[in-house]
Amino acid sequence: MDTTICAISTAVGTGAISIIRVSGKEAISIVNSVFSGVDLTKVNTHTIHYGFIVEEDNKIDEVLITLMKSPKTYTTEDTVEINCHGGISTTNKVLEILLNKGCKLAEPGEFTKRAFLNGRIDLLKAEAISDLINSETEKARKLAINQIEGKLSKKIEYIRKNLIQIQASIEVNIDYPEYDDIEVITNQNLIPNLNKILFDLNELIFESENGRIIKNGIDVVILGKPNVGKSSILNTLLEEEKAIVTNIPGTTRDIIEGKINLNGILLNVIDTAGLRQTSDFVEKIGVQKSINVSEKADLIIYVIDNTTANLAGDIKKITNLNNKKLIIFINKDDMSSKNKYDKFNKYNVVMGNTISTNGLDKLKNKIVEMFNIKYLDTKDFSYLSSARQISLAKKAKNAIENAINNLNEGISIDMVTIDIKECYETLGEIIGAVYQDDLIDELFSRFCLGK
Amino acid sequence: MKNKYDIIVVGGGHAGCEASYVASKLNFNVALITSNINNIADMPCNPSIGGTAKGIVVREIDALGGLMGKIADRSHFQIKMLNNSKGPAVRSLRAQADKKIYPQEMLKELKKLKNLTIIEAMVEDIIVNDNTITGIILENNKVINCKSLILTTGTYLKSHVLVGSEIKKEGPHGERRSLNLSDNLKKRGFEILRLKTGTPQRIEKNSIDYSNLKPEYGDLTPLTFSFDNPPLYDINNQELCYVTYTSPETHKIINDNLEKSAMYSGNVKGVGARYCPSIEDKIVRFADKERHQLFLEPESKFTNEIYIQGFSTSMPYDVQEKLVHSLPGLEKAKILKYAYAIEYDAINPLHLKPSLETKIINNLYTAGQINGTSGYEEAAGQGLIAGINASLKLQNKEPLILKRNESYIGVLIDDLVTKGTIEPYRLLTSRAEYRLILRHDNADLRLRKYGYEIGLINKIQYNKLIKKENSINDLINELKIKRLSKKNIPLNVLNKIKEKQLTSGYSLYELIKRPEFKIIDFINNKLINSKYSNDIIETTEFLIKYEGYINKTYKDIKRLLKLEEKQIPKDIDYDKVKNIATEGRQKLKQIKPLTIAQATRISGVNPADISMLIIYLKKEYSNNE
């Protein structure tokens, strides 16, 4: 971290100003060397200065310089932010000048990396900031900001504090067995307390699954036999002609993706090749891909052609999709049909067509309902959102479940403390309160350090 | 008395006895210097050996070849297993040791050693040449030379005895104290801590009315600390202890006289232990507690003194009279000895390496209360290790450093040298993160091999260990091979099985995993051999029943060992490691951890600091390989 890095920190676009951030040991001296105004090496920290960026006496841009000295900065290093006013090409020119003066172009997330490595933020915050940078919806952004503010850490600390109290009351019993005036820990007073922890963890995990949805969106896969209108549904949802639609079965051979924002939640809609036995080599690969993506989907929209003569194949395929969230979309409901759909009563069924928007609105509403999207809209977000965090939370939950089960089975308390301790430490891993060897590997892989 | 020995041990308490014993056993010429030969292995406070965690330490001392377990077995008059109900991992022995017999038996054992000389003298200074110890200076300015020195000075460094407003400049029981040794250590760079402990009154046995007091009995199963001797006491004729409680009157007397206590008048400068508070402390800190439990424990079969466990105080004599008489059963009690607090000097244990050698002076070792611990067992465990390591170093061998996953002694020493202490340190089972592995029943399986390698455990003892290991394996195999099916299952076993249907049959091993079965059930049914002794059955049953937890613990241990393997080079310059928090950097510089694992245990060094340290080590040291 000896180098000084710089990057355009505002979104690329046509905003009134754009900001270039410079961080590192030479941040102040480099900017000073291209700045015409006060001597930046002699001003106080956390001050703003008016002047021009110059190159060989040519004024390139009229700027405001925000100067922040180490350590009270985002990266803890000397940091200078240049507020450029000249639009995108001028901003790029200023950046180029800085690079010529010895700055290195920052890699994505490098400012955050420095903040983390310099000990200013914990891993959870670092993760959240990288989420923030990559967030695609307002909800995802809010979630990331809540993590940065430490709401999640506080929630986990609260659970950990309760665990420590439980553990301490057990330990007193173990270490001072001679004293009968200490409250004796029994299953009757222990299990309700552990159940409370379990409740908190369940809530955290449940909300975190939502957090994942907020962050990554919902993966929706459209399945069905060839030529039932899957691609038309995709196109109508996306409001663009993304997939080629013909009346020839097997037109879609690869998967086609599009994104829509549904009440602030991102839907990653994936259209697939129709499911059928085929001898066409390319189409075969497509069918296999359809099966693969549907395994990872959060939601499957299974499309049935209202006019089809035989439902048997569809019923079989739907039965194979158990454990998945599923909507059956009966397409072409404007056409007459002799089919009866009472077999699908236990599923979510939506009737509609792609000619009118009515059916598709019903489809969207169904999704909103199934994923509680309205509820997500009103909730305060403080969820675990990375796979790492969620899997650790589940591990912690398992440990507490083991503790409760083992107590009920009559296992002695000294064993059960191992489960309780495991829960405590696993939660500590989420917030980085426990040193883990694999954390360092994570660090190296995320930030390609040490090269 | 010669003027030169290989190893000198200063102090004849529990640490000093173990240290001189092992060093003599390993064929070094050893001098044990004590201010009073009659106080060798003295028990100045409670008349008991063992207790939670401590009882396991005694087993570990025995496994390694030390004395405490054997002497305790010869001298106690009541013994019991604590924590039977809380599970096998936290069981621990506790015995009422006879305060007359224990020191006698210890002295007898030490006198058997031909190359041990016991000297009565007061040590006032050490001699250091080129950062290495070369001898000591006695009170009369006489010099005795040595190659290694072990200081086990207990509470005798500049001690003050405090009762009410009175400050007596003396050691326990009015003994003489060392006036200059701690100042001289300070001059050589040791940070000196001032610690405090206390002891309760001793009561005339026959002046107590026991009629309304609850007796406490010993266990009726035979128990021993040592792996080498049978029970040596009469199980059916153990002495009783009794339980009494503080009364509302006791609490009133304390609250009315609080300013008279040495603790609260400001006379006490030393830091006392939170887990062993004086009675005035308990009543002030836990004001809403109606009563506090106290134990009346006989000190010896040969004296008439009763010890009031839990009632230590530094109140003046007249208040103590009132306090004792406010206790149920002690209304007419006669006080034979008054309670007192004692302050003494100790060194900051962060000056020590895990071998218990000091970082400042080569070949100087310290053990026991001088290192900031409390307790006879903690002292003996350290004395044993200091004695072993002083000897190993003179043999040019690597020190014995017990890991946290191997022994409570390892936990104790690692805590001391890594975390330091600001109050007298007591071992607790909760300090051991792998206590499932550090059990009472397997101390020999864990540690005897080390004792054998060092030369403190003989061939006969070692063969007994191997036989035990083999028997456990035999029993496990037998349980795995023997299967029960519909045809051959005895009815009383079948009745115990909850689900009543034997679809595929079970091995006995699988059945033992269920809470409803014990190995003894199968022995009684003649399903397996009855040749196994109780300790084999106990350990085996544990290994099978808790296999899941044991495996989980070993997984954690594996993670620890991975970090233990990551050594920190001795020449590391912590100022060059970037981005470590100031506190973490100071602690690392002071403690100089040997491994990353040790560094993670230092309080004030946070996980981010460790990450930085590892990154630094990878960058700086892996390139050179």
Query: Are B435 and A421 a contacting pair at CB < 8 A?
Result: no
Candidate CATH numbers 3.40.50.620, 1.10.3720.10, 3.30.70.260, 1.10.10.1800; the one for domain B459-550: 1.10.10.1800
Torsion of CA B377, B380, B382, B385, to 10 degrees: -130
B601 chain-A contacts, CB cut-off 8 A: none
In this structure, are residues B106 and B40 in contact, taking their beta carbons and an 8 Å threshold?
yes
For chain A, give the percent of residues with pLDDT over 70. Answer: 79
- Which has the minimum average pLDDT: A132-136, A274-278, B46-50, B320-324? A132-136
The shortest CB-CB distance from B86 to any of A117, A412, A437 is to A412
Q: pLDDT band at A377, cuts 50/70/90?
A: low
For A34-39, which contacts have Cβ atoms below 8 Å and span 24 or more sequence positions? A34/A97, A34/A98, A34/A101, A35/A63, A35/A65, A37/A65
Query: Are B86 and A176 a contacting pair at CB < 8 A?
Result: no
* Chain A residue nearest residue B622, CA to CA: A450
Give the residue from B299, B8, B34, B7 showing the smallest Cα distance to B156.
B34
Q: Please indicate if any CB of chain B lies within 8 Å of the CB of A443.
A: yes
Over residues A372-380, the mean pLDDT reads 63
Q: Given phi > 0 = left and psi -120 to 50 = alpha, else beta, which region is B334? A: beta
B549 chain-A contacts, CB cut-off 8 A: 415, 418
Q: Please indicate if any CB of chain A lies within 8 Å of the CB of B612.
A: yes
- Which has the minimum average pLDDT: A64-78, A215-229, B40-54, B290-304? A215-229
pLDDT of residue A25: 92
Interface-testing mutation among B91, B217, B615, B617, with chain A (most A C-beta atoms within 10 A): B615
Tell me the shortest Cα–Cα distance from A434 to chain B, in angstroms. 6
Q: pLDDT band at B603, cuts 50/70/90?
A: confident
pLDDT of residue B236: 95
In CATH, what number does A218-297+299-370 get? 3.40.50.300
Burial of B81 (0-12, 13-18, 19+ CB in 10 A): middle
Q: pLDDT band at B70, cuts 50/70/90?
A: very high
The shortest CB-CB distance from A175 to any of B430, B553, B608 is to B430
Q: pLDDT band at B302, cuts 50/70/90?
A: very high
Residue B413: helix, strand or coil by DSSP?
Answer: helix
Q: What is the DSSP letter of A222?
A: E
Query: Are B52 and A174 a contacting pair at CB < 8 A?
Result: yes
**pLDDT by residue (tens digit) across B397-437?**
999 999 999 999 999 999 999 999 888 999 989 889 899 99
The shortest CB-CB distance from B607 to any of A415, A432, A450 is to A432
Instruction: Judge whether residue A441 has pLDDT over 70.
Output: no
Question: How many Å apart are CA B436 and CA B446, to the nearest integer?
Answer: 12
Scanning B175-261, the segments in alpha helix (DSSP H) are: 181-187, 248-257
The shortest CB-CB distance from A175 to any of B52, B515, B552 is to B52
Q: Please indicate if any CB of chain A lies within 8 Å of the CB of B308.
A: no
Over residues B333-346, the mean pLDDT reads 95
Q: Please indicate if any CB of chain B lies within 8 Å of the CB of A409.
A: yes
* Chain A residue nearest residue B550, CA to CA: A415
Q: Please indicate if any CB of chain A lies within 8 Å of the CB of B217.
A: no
Interface-testing mutation among A414, A419, A446, with chain B (most B C-beta atoms within 10 A): A414
For chain A, give the percent of residues with pLDDT over 90. Answer: 24
Tell me the shortest Cα–Cα distance from B52 to chain A, in angstroms. 6
- Specify the amino acid at residue A164: I
**pLDDT by residue (tens digit) across B149-193?**
999 999 999 999 998 888 999 988 888 999 899 999 999 999 999
A163 chain-B contacts, CB cut-off 8 A: none
Question: How many Å apart are CA A385 and CA A339, to the nearest integer?
Answer: 43
- Specify the amino acid at residue B549: Y
* Delimiting residues of CATH 2.40.30.260 domain(s) in chain B: 202-343
The shortest CB-CB distance from B429 to any of A119, A175, A410 is to A175
In this structure, are residues A373 and A263 in contact, taking their beta carbons and an 8 Å threshold?
yes
A61 vs A178 pLDDT, higher one: A61
For the domain B4-47+109-194+347-439, what is the CATH superfamily, name and number? FAD/NAD(P)-binding domain (3.50.50.60)
The shortest CB-CB distance from B52 to any of A118, A177, A435 is to A177
B505 vs A436 pLDDT, higher one: B505
pLDDT of residue B354: 96
Question: How many Å apart are CA A235 and CA A246, to the nearest integer?
Answer: 13
In CATH, what number does A5-119 get? 3.30.1360.120
* Chain B residue nearest residue A179, CA to CA: B293
**pLDDT by residue (tens digit) across A233-271?**
888 887 777 666 776 766 766 777 888 888 777 888 888
pLDDT of residue A338: 77
B 398-417 residues inside an 8 A Cβ radius of A: none
Q: pLDDT band at A108, cuts 50/70/90?
A: low
* Delimiting residues of CATH 3.40.50.300 domain(s) in chain A: 218-297+299-370
Q: Please indicate if any CB of chain B lies within 8 Å of the CB of A432.
A: yes
Question: How many Å apart are CA B198 and CA B162, to the nearest integer?
Answer: 9
Instruction: Judge whether residue A383 has pLDDT over 70.
Output: no
Interface-testing mutation among A116, A125, A178, with chain B (most B C-beta atoms within 10 A): A178
* Delimiting residues of CATH 3.30.1360.120 domain(s) in chain A: 5-119
* Chain A residue nearest residue B620, CA to CA: A450
The shortest CB-CB distance from B562 to any of A415, A437, A439 is to A437
pLDDT of residue A448: 39
Cis ω on the peptide bond leading into residue B231 (within 30° of 0)?
Answer: no
**pLDDT by residue (tens digit) across B93-137?**
999 999 999 999 999 999 999 999 999 999 999 999 999 999 999
Element (H, E) at A394: helix A387-408
- Which has the minimum average pLDDT: A245-259, B20-34, B39-53, B528-542? A245-259
Query: Are A440 and B615 a contacting pair at CB < 8 A?
Result: yes
Q: How many helices, marked H, and strands, marked E, lie in chain B?
A: 21, 22
Positions of E strands within B318-416: 335-337, 340-347, 364-366
* Delimiting residues of CATH 1.10.150.570 domain(s) in chain B: 566-621
Q: pLDDT band at A444, cuts 50/70/90?
A: very low
Which range has the top average pLDDT, A170-179, B411-420, B583-592? B411-420
B 546-575 residues inside an 8 A Cβ radius of A: 546, 549, 552-553, 559, 562-563
Question: How many Å apart are CA B293 and CA B250, to the nearest integer?
Answer: 12
If you average pLDDT over every residue of chain B, what do you get? 92
* Delimiting residues of CATH 3.50.50.60 domain(s) in chain B: 4-47+109-194+347-439
Class of domain B566-621: mainly alpha
Query: Are A422 and B515 a contacting pair at CB < 8 A?
Result: no
Domain made up of A148-211+389-447: CATH architecture:
Up-down Bundle (1.20)
Q: Please indicate if any CB of chain A lies within 8 Å of the CB of B611.
A: yes
CB atoms within 10 A of CB A451: 4
Scanning A17-109, the segments in alpha helix (DSSP H) are: 27-33, 87-100
Query: Are A181 and B292 a contacting pair at CB < 8 A?
Result: yes
Structure tokens at B36: 């009073």
**What pTM was computed for the model?**
0.79
Domain made up of B202-343: CATH architecture:
Beta Barrel (2.40)
**pLDDT by residue (tens digit) across A28-53?**
999 999 999 999 999 999 999 999 99
A 102-141 residues inside an 8 A Cβ radius of B: 117-119, 122
Tell me the shortest Cα–Cα distance from B85 to chain A, in angstroms. 7
Tell me the shortest Cα–Cα distance from B559 to chain A, in angstroms. 8
